[in-house]
Structure 1
Amino acid sequence: MNGSVRMGRVLGVPLRVHWSVPLLVLLFGSSLGSRTLPASVPDQSSATYTVAGLVGALLLLGSLLAHEAAHAFTALKKGIEVKSITLWALGGMTEMGRPRGAGATFLVAVSGPLTSFVVGGAAIGAGIGLDAVSGWAVPAAVLVWLGWVNVVLGVFNLLPATPLDGGRVVQALMWWRTGDRDRADRAAARGGQILGILLISLGWIAVLRGAFGGLWLALVGFFLVIVAGAERQRARLVPALRGVKAADAMSGPVETCPDWFTVERCVHDVALRAHHSTLVLTDFQGRPSGLLRLPQLARIPAEQRQTLRVRDVATALSHITTCAPDDLLEDVLEKLRPGMDPRILVTDGQHLVGIITARDISRIVQRHTLGGTENQ
């Protein structure tokens, strides 16, 4: 996710924290310290409420991490690649590969809510016990609050709509019952869009009635609509791309430019004669080293073109997805990450053989829609 910073690893998986996480801590800490605790444990100092609210918000953040770590742990046990865990203002996200079976999908999905229920039950029990044994009312109230928030989190995540865990459960059950994964994916994504629209509507109704907390509900709904829409689009793409190899989708020949050329030389020797808007840069050994779009060249001031090398303005190879000609296109698209160039370079060893663009993928999908059975 853009705007996130890597903060170590959990279970060997990169952990990233979005810039919005401090807002989450401040929001819940303020709500707990200014309203919930004074109502349940009155006559305490402002400092006590403030510190307790902050501790409670941090414990909530830890429970969100536990929820996502449960997904990651179960996925790794099932042999599914887990790419990252990201915490952000609306909770957490675990980026992973697609499970190969309905059973694995189900177990990965339910592991998160079950963890939230366990954490919630343990926190409520600990809070009640602490209050009864020691009389520490404020810490006990924080634990009880934490427990109920986790219970609500678990219940909300089990709503039958993608990308919530309940949507994944629906996918798994429909896939297991019908044997049609694509149909299951589309149904869960459609449920996510419907739920998102419902939450947006309820949120704005709440705002119009003076409850500005409805903005948070509307924001969650907007997120669901966006992600579920992307999942629905993906569910339409997968059947068209299934079984298609990168070599069947790529276009060529690819126009190249040595990466040590100056911008001026590239413009006069290559760009002005190019038939495509994208050039692949190559190093001294002829290996691809980056991608350069012609509009990037056009934006470079004339006084810099004689000294600036094209490799200094191009997209580096580390931000480009590469694959072999025999790789399945469906698997290749799984490698794409947010912020990476959407174009895919096809290489045979270190030799460039083609490029896959959004237009190439659209062509494959259109042929599938027309009922064609040929990949080429």
Structure 2
Amino acid sequence: MNGSVRVGHVVGVPLRMHWSVPLLVVLFAYGLGRQTLPAWTPGRSDAVYALAGVVGAALLMGSLLLHETAHAATARRKQISVQDVTLWALGGITRMGRPQTAKAAFVVAVAGPLASLVIGGAALGAGFGLHTLAGWAAVPGVVLMWLGWANLFLGVFNLLPAVPLDGGRVVQALLWWRTGDRDRAELAASRSGQVIGLLMVALGWISVLRGSPGGLWIVFIGLFIMVVAGAERRRTALNTALRDIRVAEAMSSPVDTGADWLTVQRFIDEVAVRARHSVLALLDFEGRPSGIVQVGRLAGIPGPRRETLRVREVATPLSQCAVAAPDDLLSEAIDKLSLRTGMRILVVDGGRLAGIVTGKDISRLMQRHTLGGRRPDGSRSEDTWSDGRRTDDDGTGTGTGDDGTR
């Protein structure tokens, strides 16, 4: 996620923190220390309230981390790759690969809410117990009760049947198991997310009009759900349209390349000025792909440094690029794309660069599909229906935009 920094690891997965997290901690600490604690345990000093508020806010962020850790740990047990865990203003995000079975998808989805419900129940029980005691135990008791209610709310809210919430993933997994059609299940879950997001926006505005500023937070969450659900619906439509299509059918070849050991100046003079694209693939001494470099980035390097700096030092290494083999499914290769990789997939065969897939290539493939053109294997890229059920659905989704590199 943009605006986040890496702060460590959790269950072997990189942990990132968004810049909004400290603001969230301050907000929770203020609300707990200035409102909740004085109302429940009056008569304490401001220092006690402030310290307890900070501790409570930190414990809440820790419980959010445990929620996401439950997702990540369960995914790894189910042999699902996990890219990272990010904490931000609306809780957390665990980026992972697509589950291969409905059962795995269901287990991963429920792991987070179950963790929150367990934490909430335990904290609430301990808080009630401490609150009954006199003296010093009253303040920690209120903090734990506040933490417990917050986690119970988090667990229940996340079970709403709206993608990208965990409840939407649960619905998606159940529909997948029931129908056997993953794409159909994903489309239904994303529609549910859009509807619930819209209802939350409406509810939030009604609250604002009735004088409750907190309704703006509901509006924001509803808009977030609508946007993400809409994006997932488009992605599912794309995956449906590209079903059973191999990377080799979409890639462009040959690819403009350059040697990664050249200095930046030599690379500009001998390769970049003659290239037709804004992003070029790099090859090492043995002719194997080593990464990609953006021509625009080379232009920003000061003149004196261009004579000594190697182009590979300013390139994106292969380990951070989206890479696929010619026989890989295109839909699976697209899942490897991220903001860091851009809309580019390097196609590597036997350690050699065989081609590249860009947004323009995918758009061209989608246009051919929409027109009902023939695929390279001679089959037609159009839907076939039998007995009211789709037997070879390639979809009719819209193409992705050109990233300007090809």
Q: Same fold (TM over 0.5)?
A: yes
In structure 2, the residue matched to 1:52 is 52
Q: Which amino acid aligns with 2:375?
A: E
**Distance in 1 separating the partners of 2:7 and 2:309:** 35
**Distance in 2 separating the partners of 1:301 and 1:363:** 38
| Residues 2 and 339 in structure 1, CA contact (< 8 A), matched pair in contact too | no
Deviation at 1:267, TM superposition (A): 4.3
Deviation at 1:263, TM superposition (A): 4.7
TM-score w.r.t. structure 1 length? 0.90
The yes-or-no answer on 1:365 pairing with 2:361 is no
**C-alpha deviations, 1:15-65, integer Å up to 9, x for none?**
222221111111111111111111222222111111111111111111111
| Residues 337 and 344 in structure 2, CA contact (< 8 A), matched pair in contact too | no
**C-alpha deviations, 1:138-178, integer Å up to 9, x for none?**
11111111111111111111111100011011111211222
Q: Secondary structure at the match of 1:174?
A: helix
Deviation at 1:311, TM superposition (A): 3.7
TM-score w.r.t. structure 2 length? 0.84
Bigger Cα displacement from structure 2, 73-82 vs 172-181 = 73-82
Deviation at 1:262, TM superposition (A): 4.6
Q: Which amino acid aligns with 1:216?
A: W
Deviation at 1:352, TM superposition (A): 1.2
The yes-or-no answer on 1:96 pairing with 2:96 is yes
In structure 2, the residue matched to 1:343 is 344
**Distance in 1 separating the partners of 2:44 and 2:204:** 33
Structure-2 change in CA distance of 1:303 and 1:73 (3 Å): closer
Q: Secondary structure at the match of 1:280?
A: strand
In structure 1, the residue matched to 2:21 is 21
Structure-2 change in CA distance of 1:366 and 1:204 (3 Å): same
The yes-or-no answer on 1:139 pairing with 2:140 is yes
Q: Secondary structure at the match of 1:98?
A: coil
Structure-2 change in CA distance of 1:155 and 1:294 (3 Å): same
Structure-2 change in CA distance of 1:37 and 1:14 (3 Å): same
**Distance in 2 separating the partners of 1:359 and 1:247:** 15
**Distance in 2 separating the partners of 1:69 and 1:300:** 41
Deviation at 1:346, TM superposition (A): 1.1
In structure 2, the residue matched to 1:248 is 249
Structure-2 change in CA distance of 1:183 and 1:372 (3 Å): farther
Structure-2 change in CA distance of 1:152 and 1:163 (3 Å): same
**Distance in 2 separating the partners of 1:123 and 1:302:** 61
In structure 2, the residue matched to 1:119 is 119
In structure 2, the residue matched to 1:198 is 199
**Distance in 2 separating the partners of 1:227 and 1:87:** 17
Deviation at 1:209, TM superposition (A): 4.5
Q: Secondary structure at the match of 1:291?
A: strand
Q: Which amino acid aligns with 2:18?
A: H
Q: Which amino acid aligns with 1:3?
A: G
In structure 2, the residue matched to 1:35 is 35
| Residues 240 and 364 in structure 1, CA contact (< 8 A), matched pair in contact too | no
Q: Which amino acid aligns with 1:246?
A: V
Bigger Cα displacement from structure 2, 343-352 vs 277-286 = 277-286
Q: Which amino acid aligns with 2:218?
A: L
**Distance in 1 separating the partners of 2:48 and 2:269:** 70
**Distance in 1 separating the partners of 2:21 and 2:161:** 26
Q: How does 1:1-376 map to 2 (within 5 A)?
A: 1-133=1-133, 136-297=137-298, 309-371=310-372, 374=375
**Distance in 1 separating the partners of 2:96 and 2:49:** 39
Deviation at 1:188, TM superposition (A): 1.1
Structure-2 change in CA distance of 1:278 and 1:6 (3 Å): closer
Structure-2 change in CA distance of 1:160 and 1:351 (3 Å): same
Q: Secondary structure at the match of 1:218?
A: helix
Q: Secondary structure at the match of 1:341?
A: coil
Q: Which amino acid aligns with 1:66?
A: L
Q: Secondary structure at the match of 1:355?
A: strand
**Distance in 2 separating the partners of 1:203 and 1:375:** 51
| Residues 102 and 175 in structure 1, CA contact (< 8 A), matched pair in contact too | yes
Structure-2 change in CA distance of 1:281 and 1:311 (3 Å): same
Structure-2 change in CA distance of 1:60 and 1:279 (3 Å): same
**C-alpha deviations, 1:223-244, integer Å up to 9, x for none?**
2122212211111111222322
Q: Which runs of 5+ in 2 are unaligned?
A: 378-406
**Distance in 1 separating the partners of 2:319 and 2:162:** 35
Structure-2 change in CA distance of 1:162 and 1:372 (3 Å): farther
**Distance in 1 separating the partners of 2:168 and 2:210:** 31
Q: Secondary structure at the match of 2:343?
A: strand
Q: Secondary structure at the match of 2:291?
A: strand
| Residues 364 and 375 in structure 1, CA contact (< 8 A), matched pair in contact too | no
| Residues 162 and 196 in structure 2, CA contact (< 8 A), matched pair in contact too | yes
**Distance in 1 separating the partners of 2:20 and 2:35:** 22
Q: Secondary structure at the match of 1:93?
A: strand
**Distance in 1 separating the partners of 2:279 and 2:93:** 33
Q: How many pairs were matched up? A: 376
| Residues 74 and 108 in structure 2, CA contact (< 8 A), matched pair in contact too | yes
Deviation at 1:284, TM superposition (A): 2.5
Deviation at 1:309, TM superposition (A): 4.8
Q: Which amino acid aligns with 2:167?
A: G
Cα RMSD between the aligned structures?
2.4
Q: Which runs of 5+ in 1 are unaligned?
A: none
Structure-2 change in CA distance of 1:242 and 1:342 (3 Å): same
Q: Secondary structure at the match of 1:344?
A: strand
**Distance in 2 separating the partners of 1:107 and 1:362:** 35
